[in-house]
Amino acid sequence: MTTFALDADQQSFRDVVRQIAVDRIAPRAAEIDEKAEFPWDVKEVLASNGLLGLHVPEAYGGAGADTLTFALLVEEVARVCASSSVIPLVQKLGSVPLLVGASEEQKQAWFPRIASGEDLISYCISEAGAGSDPASMLTTARRDGDAYVLNGTKVWISMAGVSRLYTVLAKTDPDAGARGVSAFLVRADDPGFSVGKSEDKLGIKGSPTCQVHFDDCRIPADRLVGEEGKGFTYAMQAFDHTRLIVGAQAVGIAQGAIDFATGYMREREQFGKPIGSFQGLQFMLADMAMETEAARQLVYAAAAKADRGDADLTLFSAYAKCKAGDVAMKVTTDAVQILGGYGYVKDYPVERYMRDAKITQIYEGTQQIQRVVIARQLLGKL
């Protein structure tokens, strides 16, 4: 049974995005990495082409594209600049819990500006002591009349400081574990909200990652997303749809490294002939391409399952993220090896691809967590 197929519209979309990425994003990639500054110009390119609301239903001002189309977007942008690919990735990550849990009135109020790209949105779940175990979070939200008061600190928040909106998970019942977690929409100008330490990272340096603080942060009660106690459920449902997109990002990074290494192997000469003529390097390149294509097929299959609402989406989303992240790390490391000394210096992009690839093995659930998810899906309750 065919699990996915790119139709004519998706193929055309991929070609258009690829051209935008090559013409408007690729020339900025090295500078974005070197300066470690958020690329507002790239954000505007994405917004002006309707790509930051690609995943948002048409009823709320978006394009209503399917998950496979969105995966193509992230893959093609990551192929030239991983930092830039974080922009649409996090735009979806921050908004999927709202799509899952928010009321119709909330969606109508919040999504038009998200879809247009006027409002960037981040997702706040991780804490210093609650990374792989988010149910143990300490951030609280206390009801106070017609408001909620939030207290706590979130860490590793992608796009913090440039986002205007934050989907925040906090405990409304600290004694109830995961069932006591609720979701809220917080705005950057809410009193008591602040952005803290900015992390100096190995890769995706053009995407800010910061702590965010809630110090008696008071928000209107109508910013509770859906129902109290349902936040953890919304979060886990959202991860099923966004983990596979990290897989798409990883595939794009790997493909970018393959593209550069292939061109280099054709042009670089040693012992009087192109290094691409040496069988040892040919085998490396062949393995890089095979593994990347295998990961791509798994990502696309997971995306198709997300669009169909298949019961095994959790399993396949974990498959896709885990396989693609591991492939990206191996492929980019091999690309550096193919370039030898030149691969180790910043005059060539493969060392950036290698640094960027590492995060795909860590965020949205480490590879070890993905394997736990996979094993539990296969074994069930023991």
- Would you please indicate which residues are annotated as catalytic (active-site) residues? 364
Give the Cα separation of 154 and 169 in Å (integer). 9
Task: Categorise residue 85: left if φ over 0, alpha if ψ from -120 to 50, beta otherwise.
Answer: alpha
Give the Cα separation of 299 and 328 in Å (integer). 13
- CA distances to 154, 163, 168, 207, 210 from 195, rounded to whole Å, are 10, 10, 14, 15, 7
Q: Report whether 98 contacts 55 (CB < 8 A).
A: no
Which helix (H) or strand (E) element contains residue 153? Answer: strand 147-158
If you write DSSP's letter for every residue of 339-370 in order, what string do you get? HGGGGGSTTSTHHHHHHHHGGGGTTTS-HHHH
C-alpha closest to that of 30 among 205, 251, 265: 205
Helices 67-78 and 231-267: angle between axes, nearest 10 degrees: 40
Reported as half-sphere exposure (CB side, CA atoms, 13 A), residue 309 has a value of: 0
Give the Cα separation of 70 and 13 in Å (integer). 10
C-alpha closest to that of 62 among 121, 114, 119: 114
Q: Report whether 118 contacts 125 (CB < 8 A).
A: no
Kindly compute the dihedral angle of the four CA atoms of residues 44, 67, 13, 319, in this order, to the nearest 10 degrees. 100
For residue 18 the two structure tokens come to 């690829």
Q: Report whether 107 contacts 278 (CB < 8 A).
A: no
